[in-house]
Amino acid sequence: MQKTKAIILIASMVLSYTGCEKDDICVDGDTPLLRIDFYNVNDTSALKNVTSLQVMGLLNGNEPQAVIPNISLSAVGLPLRIGENNTTFILSQNLTPNDTTSVNRDTLTFNYGVKEVFISRSCGFVANYDNLNSTLTADADNWIKKIEIIDTLVANSLSAHVKIFH
Protein backbone atom coordinates (compact mmCIF):
# COMPACT_ATOMS: atom_id res chain seq x y z
CA MET A 1 0.00 0.00 0.00
CA GLN A 2 2.84 2.32 0.88
CA LYS A 3 4.49 1.52 -2.41
CA THR A 4 1.32 2.28 -4.37
CA LYS A 5 1.05 5.62 -2.63
CA ALA A 6 4.65 6.42 -3.39
CA ILE A 7 4.19 5.53 -7.04
CA ILE A 8 1.07 7.69 -7.35
CA LEU A 9 2.87 10.55 -5.67
CA ILE A 10 5.89 10.38 -7.95
CA ALA A 11 3.72 9.98 -11.04
CA SER A 12 1.62 13.02 -10.12
CA MET A 13 4.78 15.02 -9.44
CA VAL A 14 6.12 14.16 -12.87
CA LEU A 15 2.79 14.99 -14.52
CA SER A 16 2.43 18.29 -12.71
CA TYR A 17 5.97 19.13 -13.71
CA THR A 18 5.23 18.58 -17.39
CA GLY A 19 1.72 20.03 -17.29
CA CYS A 20 2.65 23.67 -16.85
CA GLU A 21 5.27 24.93 -19.19
CA LYS A 22 6.60 28.24 -18.11
CA ASP A 23 8.36 28.86 -21.36
CA ASP A 24 5.27 29.23 -23.51
CA ILE A 25 5.25 33.00 -23.30
CA CYS A 26 8.22 35.12 -24.20
CA VAL A 27 9.32 37.19 -21.22
CA ASP A 28 13.08 36.93 -21.51
CA GLY A 29 13.90 39.39 -24.22
CA ASP A 30 12.90 41.61 -27.06
CA THR A 31 14.33 43.30 -30.10
CA PRO A 32 15.60 46.57 -28.64
CA LEU A 33 14.35 49.97 -29.69
CA LEU A 34 16.77 52.68 -30.69
CA ARG A 35 16.67 55.11 -27.82
CA ILE A 36 17.18 58.80 -28.59
CA ASP A 37 17.44 61.47 -25.92
CA PHE A 38 17.06 65.15 -26.75
CA TYR A 39 19.52 67.63 -25.28
CA ASN A 40 19.91 71.34 -25.25
CA VAL A 41 22.42 72.41 -27.90
CA ASN A 42 23.53 75.34 -25.73
CA ASP A 43 23.88 73.27 -22.57
CA THR A 44 24.92 69.85 -23.82
CA SER A 45 24.42 68.10 -20.50
CA ALA A 46 20.80 69.16 -20.04
CA LEU A 47 17.84 67.32 -21.47
CA LYS A 48 15.51 69.59 -23.40
CA ASN A 49 11.92 68.86 -24.30
CA VAL A 50 10.92 69.00 -27.94
CA THR A 51 7.72 70.95 -28.27
CA SER A 52 4.98 68.75 -29.79
CA LEU A 53 7.50 66.03 -30.58
CA GLN A 54 6.23 63.58 -33.15
CA VAL A 55 8.19 60.76 -34.78
CA MET A 56 7.06 58.72 -37.76
CA GLY A 57 8.75 56.07 -39.80
CA LEU A 58 9.30 56.88 -43.45
CA LEU A 59 9.23 54.33 -46.26
CA ASN A 60 10.73 54.91 -49.68
CA GLY A 61 11.44 58.54 -48.87
CA ASN A 62 7.83 59.69 -49.16
CA GLU A 63 5.49 57.36 -47.29
CA PRO A 64 5.11 58.43 -43.66
CA GLN A 65 3.90 55.70 -41.34
CA ALA A 66 1.96 55.85 -38.08
CA VAL A 67 3.16 58.04 -35.24
CA ILE A 68 5.50 56.23 -32.84
CA PRO A 69 4.52 56.89 -29.21
CA ASN A 70 7.12 58.96 -27.37
CA ILE A 71 8.70 57.90 -24.12
CA SER A 72 8.61 61.54 -23.11
CA LEU A 73 9.04 64.87 -24.85
CA SER A 74 12.79 64.45 -24.48
CA ALA A 75 13.15 60.76 -25.33
CA VAL A 76 11.89 58.35 -27.98
CA GLY A 77 12.36 54.63 -28.61
CA LEU A 78 12.38 53.87 -32.30
CA PRO A 79 11.90 50.48 -33.94
CA LEU A 80 14.43 49.76 -36.65
CA ARG A 81 13.63 47.68 -39.71
CA ILE A 82 15.03 44.17 -39.30
CA GLY A 83 15.11 43.18 -42.94
CA GLU A 84 17.02 46.28 -44.05
CA ASN A 85 20.23 48.02 -43.09
CA ASN A 86 18.67 51.45 -42.80
CA THR A 87 15.57 53.05 -41.38
CA THR A 88 14.38 56.59 -41.95
CA PHE A 89 12.30 58.64 -39.52
CA ILE A 90 10.60 62.00 -39.65
CA LEU A 91 11.12 63.87 -36.40
CA SER A 92 8.95 66.92 -36.11
CA GLN A 93 8.65 69.70 -33.62
CA ASN A 94 6.08 72.46 -33.57
CA LEU A 95 6.99 75.51 -31.55
CA THR A 96 3.47 76.89 -31.88
CA PRO A 97 1.29 73.83 -31.25
CA ASN A 98 -1.96 75.50 -32.25
CA ASP A 99 -0.70 76.29 -35.71
CA THR A 100 -0.25 73.14 -37.81
CA THR A 101 1.51 75.02 -40.59
CA SER A 102 4.50 75.72 -38.39
CA VAL A 103 5.54 72.05 -38.02
CA ASN A 104 9.26 71.61 -38.65
CA ARG A 105 10.04 68.15 -39.99
CA ASP A 106 13.56 66.79 -40.08
CA THR A 107 14.39 63.54 -41.83
CA LEU A 108 16.90 61.30 -40.15
CA THR A 109 18.27 58.02 -41.50
CA PHE A 110 20.04 55.40 -39.42
CA ASN A 111 22.36 52.84 -40.95
CA TYR A 112 23.29 49.70 -39.07
CA GLY A 113 24.06 46.01 -39.26
CA VAL A 114 21.59 43.41 -38.02
CA LYS A 115 22.67 40.60 -35.68
CA GLU A 116 20.37 37.73 -34.74
CA VAL A 117 20.59 36.65 -31.11
CA PHE A 118 18.86 33.60 -29.65
CA ILE A 119 17.01 34.32 -26.42
CA SER A 120 14.88 31.31 -25.50
CA ARG A 121 12.49 28.71 -26.86
CA SER A 122 9.47 31.00 -26.69
CA CYS A 123 11.21 34.21 -27.75
CA GLY A 124 13.35 32.57 -30.39
CA PHE A 125 15.66 35.08 -32.01
CA VAL A 126 15.70 38.82 -31.55
CA ALA A 127 17.66 41.35 -33.55
CA ASN A 128 20.50 43.46 -32.22
CA TYR A 129 22.04 46.25 -34.25
CA ASP A 130 25.63 47.26 -34.57
CA ASN A 131 27.78 49.81 -36.42
CA LEU A 132 25.10 52.41 -35.95
CA ASN A 133 25.48 55.74 -37.72
CA SER A 134 23.11 58.45 -38.78
CA THR A 135 22.50 60.81 -41.66
CA LEU A 136 20.43 63.95 -41.31
CA THR A 137 18.83 65.12 -44.53
CA ALA A 138 19.67 68.79 -44.78
CA ASP A 139 16.82 71.18 -45.43
CA ALA A 140 16.27 74.95 -45.22
CA ASP A 141 15.60 74.92 -41.51
CA ASN A 142 16.83 71.90 -39.54
CA TRP A 143 15.69 72.04 -35.93
CA ILE A 144 18.14 69.22 -35.17
CA LYS A 145 21.49 70.92 -34.77
CA LYS A 146 23.76 68.05 -33.88
CA ILE A 147 23.62 64.26 -33.56
CA GLU A 148 25.92 62.23 -31.39
CA ILE A 149 26.01 58.41 -31.44
CA ILE A 150 26.80 57.30 -27.91
CA ASP A 151 26.55 53.56 -28.46
CA THR A 152 27.00 52.01 -31.89
CA LEU A 153 25.68 48.71 -30.54
CA VAL A 154 21.95 48.50 -29.91
CA ALA A 155 21.47 45.49 -27.65
CA ASN A 156 18.98 46.86 -25.15
CA SER A 157 16.67 49.81 -24.72
CA LEU A 158 17.78 50.77 -21.23
CA SER A 159 19.93 53.78 -22.04
CA ALA A 160 20.22 56.22 -24.91
CA HIS A 161 22.13 55.20 -28.00
CA VAL A 162 21.85 58.56 -29.69
CA LYS A 163 21.83 62.14 -28.40
CA ILE A 164 20.15 64.79 -30.47
CA PHE A 165 20.94 68.41 -29.69
CA HIS A 166 18.48 71.11 -30.58
Partner 1 sequence: MLRYSISLFFMTCFFWGWSQENTIDLNPKDTVVYKQPYGIRFGIDLSRLATTFLNDQYTGFEIVGDYRLSQKFYAAAELGNEKKTKQEDVLNFTTSGSYIKLGFDFNTYENWYGMNNSIHIGSRLAFSSFSQTLNSYSIFERSRYWNPDGFFPIDSDPIEFNGLSAVWIEFVLGTKVALFSNIYMGASLRLGLLLSNTESEIFPNLWIPGFNKVTDNSNFGVGFNYTLTYLLPLYKKARKPMEKEVKTLE
Residue closer to partner 1 (CB basis): 7 or 149: 7
Q: Tell me how far apart the alpha carbons of residues 65 and 63 are, in angstroms, rounded to a whole number.
A: 6
Residue 46 Cβ, how far from partner 1 at the closest point, in Å? 29
**Burial tier of 164 (Cβ tally within 10 Å: 0-12, 13-18, 19+):** buried
Give the binding site for partner 1 (CB under 8 A).
3, 7, 10-11, 14, 17-18, 21-23, 26, 28-31, 33, 57, 65-66, 68, 77, 79, 81-83, 87, 116, 118-127
Residue 90 Cβ, how far from partner 1 at the closest point, in Å? 14
Residue 122 Cβ, how far from partner 1 at the closest point, in Å? 6
CA dihedral 35, 116, 119, 21 (to 10 degrees): 120
Residue 64 Cβ, how far from partner 1 at the closest point, in Å? 13
Residue 163 Cβ, how far from partner 1 at the closest point, in Å? 21
Residue closer to partner 1 (CB basis): 43 or 116: 116
**Burial tier of 129 (Cβ tally within 10 Å: 0-12, 13-18, 19+):** buried
DSSP 8-class letter at 87: E
Residue closer to partner 1 (CB basis): 77 or 142: 77
Residue closer to partner 1 (CB basis): 97 or 124: 124
In 112-128, which positions are buried (b, 16+ CB within 10 angstroms) versus exposed (e)? bebeeeeeeeebeebbb
Backbone angles phi, psi at 73, to 5 degrees: -75, -10
